[in-house]
Amino acid sequence: MLRGCSRRCPAFLAVTVVIILLSLREVIGWRPWPHNNRTNAAHDLEFGGSKKYEGSSEFVHLKYHMGPVLTTDITVHTIWYGVWERSQKKIIRGFISSISAVNSKHPSVSGWWKTVQLYTDQTGANISRTVRLGAEKNDRFYSHGKSLTRLSIQSVIKSAVTAKTKPLPLNPQGGLYLLLTSSDVRVQDFCGQVCGFHYFTFPSIVGYTLPYAWVGNSAKMCPGVCAYPFAVPDYIPGLKPLKSPNGDIGVDGMVSVIAHEIAELATNPLVNAWYAGQDPSFPVEIADLCEGIYGTGGGGSYTGQLFNGADGATFNMNGIRRRFLVQWVWNHVVNYCTGPNALDQ
């Protein structure tokens, strides 16, 4: 069991699994661009850094529901599904390694993670500051095809942890399982509703309860949806995309989605910890509250104030020898969205 989990957790999980089996939907689907405001999107872009949006404390009621959070060292086990270039893997590995890096230039990815660390379990223990890369599994031959459903994603994870050669280690206490699909793989609701989601595996499918996330590479299918602002939606004519910091639009777009999901897995791994709303099967979590906000003044369809490098690339955080654009997360202490590049810090 996860640290901080009482003897009641198995009963809770049983109830939660029943709820999800009925709904057959993961609790989180994330898009970096707020599609529910298409008609006002161009108007939103007129607002500059003088307006401080960054979420609203007046309407947010984020609560702790007494479930476990990841207070032990976190290990990210990655499944590379489909064909991936070595350079693409380096970008994503570089981001995950940067979460715990102590010497990155300010504003840093590790500074972003400090907001996540503010969250605690029922004993008062904070989320771990340590996030490390774990084992990896390559599934370059598309073992479950090039079209995945939400449930077949769990089957891919099962294949990875039960493989005859070099299976991923089973680590339900501090392990996160990150399934990344290449740009030629279609996933249920991808592009239309989600760019990534997280949940935990069903013992009936995988044999274990493991927190996991899926994130897809949108470069070929919907970069304007999932790789914004490095690609622009068709419904905003005349808006120019920004230059990505690592030279790969799809993967640079994935980084922020991966950050979003890891932050929420750490604070709500079993869907009974930190979230807003009354329905645990459809919670609003710490990254959902800051969707599309990357800098001071962010809100609506405006990303907020960002940095421009000498090479013309746009970013808001520094990692280990790389730069990234990462969405902010909700800070429950000050009750609004924060990031290490905030102008008021």
Span 88-110, pLDDT tens digits: 999 999 999 999 998 999 999 99
Residue 53, pLDDT > 90, answer: no
Ranking 233-237, 286-290, 320-324, 339-343 by mean pLDDT, the lowest is 233-237
What's the chain's average pLDDT? 86
Query: pTM of this prediction?
Result: 0.86
Token pair of 306 as six digits: 């960002």
What are 153-190's pLDDT values in tens digits? 999 999 999 999 999 999 878 999 999 999 999 999 99
Task: Check residue 193 and give its pLDDT.
Answer: 85
Residue 294, pLDDT > 90, answer: yes
Ranking 31-45, 112-126, 216-230 by mean pLDDT, the lowest is 31-45
Q: Which pLDDT band, with edges at 50, 70 and 90, does 276 fall under?
A: very high
User: What CA–CA distance (Å, rounded) separates 60 from 333?
Assistant: 13
User: Which residues make beta-bridge pairs with 215?
Assistant: 180, 196
User: Average pLDDT in the 296-305 region?
Assistant: 89
Decide the pairing of beta strands 74-81 and 131-139. parallel
Task: Check residue 15 and give its pLDDT.
Answer: 37
Considering only residues 244 and 52, tell me which one the structure prediction assigns the higher pLDDT: 244
Residue 45, pLDDT > 60, answer: no
